[in-house]
Copies of this chain bind each other. A is one copy, B any other.
Amino acid sequence: MTSYHAPVTEMRFALDEIAGLPEIAGLPGYEEATPDLVEAVLEEAGKLSSEILAPLNLSGDLESSVYENGVVRTPSGFKEAYRQYVESGWNALAFDPDYGGQGLPWTLAMAIQEMWNAANMSFALCPLLNQGAVELLQAHGSAWQKDTYLAKMISGEWAGTMNLTEPQAGSDVGAAKTRAVPTDDHYLITGQKIYITYGEHDFTDNIIHMVLARTPEAPAGTKGISLFLVPKFLPGENGAPGPRNDLRCVSIEHKLGIKASPTAVMAYGDNGGAVGYLVGEENRGMEYMFTMMNNARLAVAVQGLAIAERAHQQATAYARERTQSRELGSAEQAPVKIIRHPDVRRMLMTMKSGTEAMRALIYFTAGALDRAKREPDEARRAEQQAMLDVLIPVAKAWATDLGCEIASLGVQVHGGMGFIEETGAAQHYRDARILPIYEGTNGIQALDLLGRKLLRDDGKAVNALICHMKATQEDLNGLKGPAIVSLRGALGEGILTLEAAGDYLLETGGDDMALAAAGATPYLQLFGTVAGGWLLGKACVTAAQALDGGNGPWDPGFLEARLKLGHFYAENIMPRAATYGAQVIRGGASVLALDEALL
């Protein structure tokens, strides 16, 4: 019941037809991503996911990571699974070939990450955080830093971490107080960091911490933050780990979910200062963080998608197995499998169509990420980057909120069994709940969408994206069938609402930023809902055209199912857009009206 099978056909469809992986594979540097290789990678990653990682998910949760005297022991089987993962070369998929990476498109890498996370989100967090550290070093590391650390972090021999948060500096990273004092060729780091995912563990011989800290004369706030590489063990002979650095794991948190993943409190410099190497230049740490932020936020969106897929698989399996009550509207008195009950079907359809919409949006966004990096034409790159920047906060927040909603539906499908931990449904519900919080809370994403993405360029990038949505609506105009008609109508209304909400915020944001911000979250939810409908519309265009013209590479039943899922989304999920639109346009003032003392 807690098994996982990678939905390779659905993934392949979203990769090829929504994200345009075949085109992306034609971009310079991505030539390796041939259809055969993509197929093989998906199949092999699917195996590792279902055979090695998924079986450890529930046991990992029950056992959880354990802290004792500065040492963290991950749950049984995790270390060995990590070894297999690394030995098969999975860690290097999308990284720089000059340092041992395979240089494959991020679009494909995100699909593979969906598998790791669906199979075992706690496990997948180690590579996810390492990815951020690798990207920082790829972009800003010195030659020595790259030679000494990057190749080992790409292979997975060593693991990287991200050290941003401090007790007084959460969403406001610029409030960090950790100090970095220059000494010889390095800095001495002193301070405490919290919420450090895999800050300490037993997977690797060395752990490479990327730490934000402040030099003695640094300006206040975000402009005075520098980035340091602080290894657990200092460089030794022949690249092996040398002496222990002055840093330690103080404790790990007792959390609601992702319990197999150790969340560490880290202390730097208890004995005079941990040796840290400046990455890039002083005071540019926050700027560097932005180089990895889009990828990191998209990776968290992938986690929302992944947990939804896993919860859906588990709920469907249970609904096919569990017998209870007779069928409504049938003369037959015998009890039936609960999958036959309309209310259970509503839950499963919400889960499935929501998951498909997330996958479409996230893979499409990953495609924009690859194009923004690799399109030969500068104007095309800029266009894709602008689209990517708009989509990132939407994907992160919308997919993680929807992931939580779907995990909760997964519990509900199980009835009483959903509340019993051994069933596994409750674990997805607990694990999913971190996603709207970390890597920038969903409230922060909404403000990012409003301030940096909508207002800053006066709606230009948002409108460019809406033009793509309108193009899909045009495509739907030329086709027939109930799903198409329904999607066309819902998408049309959704786009109008999205435009009206954007206009309202553009108007309001100049005069009264607090009032605009009161509508930021429903605006983001509106955006995600409509974007999901747009891309399921795109999927339905493909499906309808393929059904008309010999199916292409797809099974006709699979294509028909795409139409039915699009239809459900149009009639049952898209109506949410009206609610969000009303909240944005009319609701803001009443958010702010009540006296603070009476809240």
A-side residues, CB < 8 A to B, are: 165, 168, 170-172, 175, 194-195, 221, 253-257, 316, 319, 323-325, 327-329, 333, 335, 339-349, 352, 404, 408, 411-412, 415-416, 418-422, 426, 429-430, 433-434, 436-438, 441-443, 446-447, 486, 512-515, 517-518, 520-521, 557, 561, 564-565, 567-568, 570-572, 575-576, 578-579, 582-583, 586-596, 598-599
Nearest Cβ in chain B — how far from A174, in angstroms? 9
A416 to B579, Cβ gap below 8 A?
no
On whether the beta carbons of A412 and B443 are closer than 8 Å, the reply is yes
Point out the residues of chain B lying under 8 angstroms from A576, CB to CB.
Answer: 579
Report the separation of the CA atoms of residues A329 and B515 in the bound assembly, to the nearest whole angstrom: 9
Contact (Cβ within 8 A) A594 B565 = yes
Q: A343 vs B450: C-alpha distance in the bound complex, in angstroms?
A: 12
Q: Apart from A339-B596, A342-B591, A416-B438, list 12 A-B contacts with CB within 8 A.
A: A170-B416, A255-B420, A319-B599, A327-B514, A341-B517, A343-B520, A349-B594, A404-B408, A416-B437, A419-B437, A571-B586, A575-B578
A586 partner residues in chain B, CB cutoff 8 A: 571
8 Å CB contact of A561 from B195, B422, B595 = B595
Say yes or no: A255-B421 contact (C-beta < 8 A), given A408-B404, A411-B433, A591-B349.
yes
Bound form: Cα–Cα A434–B412 in Å: 9
Alpha-carbon distance A316/B430, docked complex (angstroms): 23
**Taking A561-B594, A564-B593, A587-B572 as contacts, is the C-beta distance between A415 and B441 under 8 angstroms?**
yes
Chain B nearest CB, measured from A557 CB (Å): 7
Minimum CB distance partner of A343 in chain B: B443
Report 29 cross-chain contacts, Cβ distance below 8 Å, ordered by A residue: A170-B324, A195-B416, A254-B422, A255-B421, A256-B421, A340-B596, A341-B443, A343-B443, A343-B517, A343-B521, A346-B518, A346-B591, A352-B599, A404-B408, A411-B437, A412-B437, A415-B441, A416-B438, A486-B590, A561-B595, A561-B598, A564-B590, A564-B594, A567-B593, A571-B586, A571-B590, A572-B590, A575-B582, A575-B587
Least CB distance, A343 to chain B, in whole angstroms: 4
CB within 8 A of A325: which of B172, B253, B575? B172
Task: Report the bound CA distance from A170 to B347 in whole Å.
Answer: 18
Taking the full assembly, how many copies of this chain does it contain?
2
Q: Are B175 and A335 in contact (CB under 8 A)?
A: yes
Which residues of B are found within 8 Å of A517, using beta-carbon distances? 328-329, 341-343
Which residues from B are CB-within-8-Å of A171? 324-325, 415
> A256, A339, A352, A433: which has the most chain B beta carbons within 10 Å?
A256
Known A513-B329, A561-B595, A568-B591; judge A172-B324 contact (CB<8 A): yes
Taking CB as reference atom, which chain B residue is nearest A582? B575
CB distance from A329 to the nearest CB of B (A): 4
Indicate if the CB atoms of A343 and B446 lie closer than 8 Å: yes
Q: Do A419 and B591 contact each other (CB < 8 Å), given the known contacts A172-B324, A599-B339?
A: no
Assess the B404–A418 pair: CB atoms within 8 A. Answer: no
**Interface contact A170-B582, CB-CB below 8 Å:** no
A365 CB, nearest partner CB in chain B, Å: 23
- Residues of the B chain whose Cβ atoms lie less than 8 Å from the Cβ of A329: 512-514, 517
Distance in Å from the Cβ of A404 to the closest Cβ of chain B?
7
CA distance A436 to B413 in the complex (A): 11
B593 x A568 contact (CB < 8 A): yes
A596 surroundings in chain B (CB, below 8 A): 339-340
Task: Name which residue of chain B comes closest to A327, CB basis.
Answer: B514
- C-alpha gap A596/B340 in the complex (Å): 8
Most buried by B among A422, A436, A599: A599
Do B443 and A345 have beta carbons less than 8 Å apart?
no
Query: What chain B residues lie within 8 Å of A520 (beta carbons)?
Result: 342-343
**A443 contacts across to B, CB distance below 8 A:** 341, 343-344, 347, 412
A518 and B342 contact, Cβ closer than 8 Å, known pairs A324-B170, A561-B594, A599-B316: yes
List chain B residues, Cβ under 8 A from A349.
590-591, 594, 599
CA distance A443 to B416 in the complex (A): 13
Residue from the list B486, B565, B582, B595 in contact with A571, Cβ < 8 A:
B582
A215 to chain B, nearest CB (A): 21
A514 to B328, CA, bound (A): 6
Contacts of A257 in B (CB 8 A): 419
The complex places the Cα of A486 from the Cα of B335 at a distance, in Å, of 48
User: A521 to chain B: which residues have CB within 8 Å?
Assistant: 343, 346
- A583-B575 in contact (CB<8A): yes
A257 CA / B454 CA spacing, docked (Å): 41
CA distance A426 to B467 in the complex (A): 42
Alpha-carbon separation in the docked complex, A420 to B221 (Å): 27
Q: Which residues of B lie under 8 Å from residue A578 when comparing CB positions?
A: 575, 578-579, 582
Q: Contact check, B170 vs A256: say whether CB atoms are below 8 A apart.
A: no
User: Which of chain B's residues have a CB closer than 8 A to the CB of A345?
Assistant: 518, 591-592, 599
Chain B residues with CB under 8 Å of A447's CB are 328, 343
- How near does chain B come to A276, taking the closest CB pair, in angstroms? 24
Shortest distance from the beta carbon of A13 to any chain B beta carbon, whole Å: 13
How long is the Cα–Cα vector from A330 to B567 in the complex, in angstroms? 46
Which residue of B is nearest A169, CB measured? B324
In whole angstroms, how far apart are the Cα atoms of A223 and B514 in the complex? 61
Q: How far is the CB of A436 from chain B (nearest CB, A)?
A: 6
Shortest Cβ gap from A61 to chain B (Å): 11
Rounded to whole Å, the gap between the CB of A8 and the closest CB of chain B is: 15
